[in-house]
Structure 1
Amino acid sequence: MSAPDFQPPVNPMPPAVILLFVAIAGVEAGLSLGEAGLIGGPGAVGWRLGLIRDYGFSGQIFDWMIANRQFPLPELLRLLSYPFVHLSFTHGIFAMVLLLALGKMVAEVMGQVAFVLIFVLSGVGGAVVYGLLLDNPMWLTGAYPNVYGLIGAYTFVLWRSLGRTGEPQARAFTLIGLLMGLQLLWGVFFEVGMLWVAELAGFFCGFALCFLLAPGEWARMRAGLRRR
């Protein structure tokens, strides 16, 4: 008598999503424990500000690099490191929840390599646009531009799906429209700054990258070129 196949109650999380989550959660756990006085002693209170200064993205530093045509490696690495440092525990926890929810979908539909590329390059694109368009002294930190890139990938999948069924593809942009509307509403009552520029740029980067990374898109592009 053969043993029945075991089916887990939920689908397992893709390893790439888990690794990124653990990296972000590990940094946030250390900072939060330090701020609570559980590790690091009195100096731990300043760890978060120190990490933001050392690993966050500064639009002013970016402007200096562009103006002087000098691109020191430590400053370029900020494009990759800023998503792993958040402004607060709450700021980090929301980013991690979105990463798990959206990352699972993107990794399962497009593959883990595509997921990592979309996450990383959306964050880079969001920071570059933030630095080029704004002269904002506020440091860019947190994984939100990256997560918005995953929202862009989710939107792309929905956009293609609606196109195949003949339904209005504009419906795919409902989520990003809702999120931007909430940003605007929130800004009426609170000072939210201009970080939404990086988030919106991350969304469009994620959406655009899917034309290169989504399964079947290369074949679709080649077929389109042949028809021309």
Structure 2
Amino acid sequence: MQDPQRPSPLNPVPPFVIALFLVIIGVEAMFSLGARGMIGGPEAIGWRAGAREDYGFNGDILTWMLQNNVWPTEHLRRFVTYAFVHGSFTHALFAGVLLLAMGKFVSEVFRHWAVLVLFLVSTVGGALVFGLVVQDRPWLIGAFPGVYGLIGGFTYIMWLRLGQLGSNQARAFTLIGVLMGLQLVFGLIFGANATWVADVSGFVVGFLASFVLSPGGFAKLRARIRHD
């Protein structure tokens, strides 16, 4: 018989990561079923497009807020809500699966609240850089900037471990390199827009934020600042 006191070799996925996944898939299920006329009636066909305009992020909105120094809640919420609107079922599924995987990996080292903060700051940071940098201003939707932020946290963990082992720390960036390479290939085959800027920005924000959000990270950073 299995010893009930022995800890499981597999750490469970944090509940909030599962909750985020269920929200993403639930919203996408509503859009997909509505588009097929299975729920919501005839107007349900336009639910996805309406959600993109009501909850998606667009650089033109950011420019308007900066120029007028007006920050309405209905537009500020877009920095987060865009992550829960996707362009297709496949788009949502890939984002959700990566969210579960990266959330589990990072939560094995980071506190659970820190993983959630990492996802949120990467989501906001990715949108902010996207809005400031991209010129053609396509709509930004999907959870990938936040997921790439979790990849940034995973990269930080690997970067530290490789440093402790005396190995080449550049190897920690292999995963993000592979993902960006795949994104480039898909973009060349199927066409792409500049939303990749938000993904890369989310990764950078996640990696940098990990210096503070990792266990003892803020204390180490404060000690280093005082030392310098």
Counterpart amino acid of 1:162? L
Tell me if 1:19 matches 2:19.
yes
Q: What is aligned with 2:66?
A: 66
Counterpart amino acid of 1:125? G
> Relative to 1, partners in 2 of residues 1:9 and 1:126: Cα closer, same or farther, differing over 3 Å?
same
Whether the 8 Å CA contact 1:60–1:135 is kept in 2: the answer is no
Distance 1:51 1:41 in 2: 16
Counterpart amino acid of 1:57? F
Whether the 8 Å CA contact 1:87–1:141 is kept in 2: the answer is yes
Q: Secondary structure at the match of 2:137?
A: coil
Whether the 8 Å CA contact 1:14–1:108 is kept in 2: the answer is no
Tell me if 1:125 matches 2:158.
no
Q: What is aligned with 2:211?
A: 211
Tell me if 1:116 matches 2:116.
yes
Shift of residue 203, structure 1, vs aligned partner: 0.2
Shift of residue 84, structure 1, vs aligned partner: 0.4
> Per-residue displacement from partner, 1:93-140 (whole Å, max 9, x unpaired)?
000000000011112310111011011110100000000001223100
Q: Secondary structure at the match of 1:57?
A: coil
Tell me if 1:34 matches 2:34.
yes
> Relative to 1, partners in 2 of residues 1:4 and 1:177: Cα closer, same or farther, differing over 3 Å?
closer
Q: What is aligned with 1:105?
A: 105
Q: Secondary structure at the match of 1:142?
A: coil
Shift of residue 154, structure 1, vs aligned partner: 0.4
> Per-residue displacement from partner, 1:26-72 (whole Å, max 9, x unpaired)?
11111111122211112111100010010000111111111222111
Whether the 8 Å CA contact 2:11–2:108 is kept in 1: the answer is no
TM-score (norm 2): 0.93
Number of aligned residue pairs: give it: 227
Identity of paired residues, percent? 52
Counterpart amino acid of 1:53? E
* Structure 1 stretches lacking a partner, 5+ long: none
Counterpart amino acid of 1:194? A
Distance 1:109 1:9 in 2: 14
Q: What is aligned with 1:46?
A: 46
Shift of residue 19, structure 1, vs aligned partner: 1.4
> Per-residue displacement from partner, 1:136-166 (whole Å, max 9, x unpaired)?
2310000000000000000000000001111
Tell me if 1:149 matches 2:149.
yes
Distance 1:77 1:97 in 2: 24
Q: What is aligned with 2:200?
A: 200
> Relative to 1, partners in 2 of residues 1:41 and 1:8: Cα closer, same or farther, differing over 3 Å?
farther
- Mean CA deviation greater in 27-36 or 197-206: 27-36
> Relative to 1, partners in 2 of residues 1:31 and 1:14: Cα closer, same or farther, differing over 3 Å?
same
Q: Secondary structure at the match of 1:12?
A: coil
- Mean CA deviation greater in 95-104 or 13-22: 13-22
RMSD: 1.9
Whether the 8 Å CA contact 2:131–2:137 is kept in 1: the answer is no
Whether the 8 Å CA contact 1:31–1:44 is kept in 2: the answer is yes
Counterpart amino acid of 2:135? D
Shift of residue 177, structure 1, vs aligned partner: 1.2
Counterpart amino acid of 1:92? A
Counterpart amino acid of 1:83? A
